[in-house]
A and B are shown apart, each in its own frame.
Chain A
């Protein structure tokens, strides 16, 4: 079956620090990969996506590259801000069954201090 393993948190950083959240996956088909973000008091939002190997997703200064050889999709940001404090979820969608349901990692809580 499909599964996502995500670096456990919580992670606490100072502003302008470099952030990496590791994510690896197991899938039976050819999944699409996502990072979702949940800001305090808000719903889940799509942060970025990659639909095939070697694709790089990017948004709001965050990047992640779909690495098929290592089955990974690590999230990175070079200089975090206080406003990046949130819970980050790595997820995959395997279209083999044509339903695109998402399998999520456990989530990583990131706190950025001024």
Chain B
């Protein structure tokens, strides 16, 4: 079946511009996560959605970052007034409803969006 898809695959933007990154999770997956992979910081958690609500936004680095999810499906990560330090690969992952009694939830990752801020 179809995996997690992300668009665009590459985005080059100028400092100060806003960007939107899109994630299409696997159908039926209720949880959705955004992570960022950068040279200096490794892989960092940004935000978690359960359905359309975001109970954990603790990883968003500043108020320039926001995300929403609609219809329990597609999610958009928006970065306003981009800075050069925002350059990274942004990864999206989704996971199915947790099975009862299982203490983990496997996450399936998309290919990522490589963002370059000039």
SS class, residues of chain B in contact with chain A = strand
A94 to B109, CA, bound (A): 18
From known contacts A30-B103, A99-B48, infer whether A107 and B55 are also in contact, taking CB-CB under 8 Å. Answer: no
What is the number of residues of chain A that contact chain B, defined by CB distance less than 8 Å? 26
B111 → chain A closest CB, angstroms:
5
A74 → chain B closest CB, angstroms:
19
The answer to whether B45 has its CB under 8 Å from any CB of chain A is: yes
Q: Are A44 and B109 in contact (CB under 8 A)?
A: yes
Q: Are B109 and A43 in contact (CB under 8 A)?
A: yes
Q: Are A107 and B104 in contact (CB under 8 A)?
A: no
Could you list some 17 contacts between A and B, CB below 8 A?
A42-B111, A44-B109, A49-B104, A51-B102, A91-B43, A95-B104, A97-B56, A99-B50, A100-B31, A100-B95, A100-B98, A100-B107, A101-B33, A101-B45, A101-B59, A102-B35, A106-B42
Query: Which B residues contact A (CB, under 8 angstroms)?
Result: 4, 31, 33, 35, 42-45, 48, 50, 55-56, 59, 91, 93, 95, 98, 102-112
